């Protein structure tokens, strides 16, 4: 089992040695294979989950049975704290998008230690604001009728999540399938595939093996969102 490096974990780096010693259930790292559930809708919020390595998606199923991805979380992102505070059950589901390592913190320690640390509490509030902004971006992306604009906005959002600079270009190294990309942006798998191929013929992107996408012309991508 991996040892947690608290100083390199954005939320936990604010813990003092004394606070770490006070944990009733020592935080542990649990490994999830790609496609495994981390938690499910209607599960009781008894734990907080922090991404230590990899990516996970937060999604819910609409009344017509379609999956809608709400967020994609990367290393350092967390979920569950606000659910513990409110005492409710999850209305959404979390699944590992890649082989992922998750730090698990139990409810009692979250309430007794993390919530009493002012710096961590401020980080929780910052994350709350960030999620409101992400929700606004999602609403904007879903409300757009033009499919080219939808996909362009999707790619720009993914740059913020998993973009890596590569020779003045940007590599999206998430290994997410076309169905999930469509679910995240509100279009069908067929439409997302068609539009990505179209973007490639325009030399805006290059489609690489294993689902990777290379952004060739970022300015052109932004122009499509106007």
In order of start, what are the domains of the chain with their CATH numbers?
6-141 (2.60.120.10), 145-223 (1.10.10.10)
Work out the pLDDT band at 142, boundaries 50, 70, 90: confident
- Worst-scoring range by mean pLDDT, 92-106, 140-154, 188-202? 140-154
In this prediction the pTM is 0.91
Cα→Cα distances 177→79, 98, 173, Å = 23, 11, 12
Average pLDDT over residues 49-54: 97
Q: Helix (H, G, I), strand (E, B), or coil: what is residue 12?
A: helix
Give the chain's end-to-end CA distance (angstroms, integer). 48
Q: How far is CA 197 from CA 17, 61, 186, 193, in A?
A: 52, 28, 18, 6
* For residue 125, pLDDT beyond 70: yes
Nearby residues of 55 by Cβ (< 8 Å), 6 or more positions away: 72, 73, 74, 96, 97, 98, 100, 161, 162, 174
Token pair 């981390």 is found at: 38
Instruction: Give phi and psi for 167, each to the nearest 5.
Output: 55, 55
Whole-number average pLDDT of the chain: 93
Q: What is the mean pLDDT of residues 93-108?
A: 97
> Tell me: the pLDDT tens digits for 6-31?
998 999 999 999 999 999 999 999 99
Q: How many CB atoms lie within 10 A of CB 181?
A: 24
| pLDDT score recorded for residue 97 | 94
Q: What is the pLDDT at residue 36?
A: 98
32, 96 Cβ separation under 8 angstroms: yes
pLDDT at 52: 97
Percent of the chain with pLDDT over 90: 79
The mean pLDDT value for 200-215 works out to: 95
Partners of 60 in beta bridges: 68
Whole-number pLDDT of residue 1: 58
Question: What is the per-residue pLDDT for 112?
Answer: 96
């Amino acid at each position: 089992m991996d040892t947690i490096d608290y100083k390199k974990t954005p939320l936990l780096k604010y813990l003092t040695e004394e606070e770490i010693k006070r944990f009733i259930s020592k935080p542990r790292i649990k490994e999830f294979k790609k496609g495994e559930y981390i938690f499910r809708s209607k599960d009781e919020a008894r734990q907080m989950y922090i991404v230590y390595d990899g990516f996970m998606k937060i999604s819910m199923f609409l009344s017509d049975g379609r999956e809608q991805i709400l967020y994609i979380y990367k290393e350092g992102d967390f979920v569950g704290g606000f659910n513990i505070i409110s005492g409710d059950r999850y209305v959404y589901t979390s699944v590992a998008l890649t082989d992922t390592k998750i730090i698990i913190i139990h409810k009692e320690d979250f309430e007794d230690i993390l919530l009493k640390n002012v710096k961590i509490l401020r980080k929780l509030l910052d994350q709350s604001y960030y999620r409101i902004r992400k929700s606004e971006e999602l609403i904007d992306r879903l409300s757009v009728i033009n499919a080219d604009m939808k996909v362009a906005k999707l790619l720009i959002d993914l740059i913020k999540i998993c973009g890596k600079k590569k020779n003045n270009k940007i590599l999206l190294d998430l290994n997410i399938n076309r169905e999930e990309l469509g679910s995240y942006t509100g279009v069908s798998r067929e439409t997302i595939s068609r539009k990505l191929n179209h973007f490639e013929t325009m030399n805006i992107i290059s489609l690489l093996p294993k689902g990777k996408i290379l952004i060739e012309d970022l300015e052109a991508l932004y122009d499509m969102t106007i």
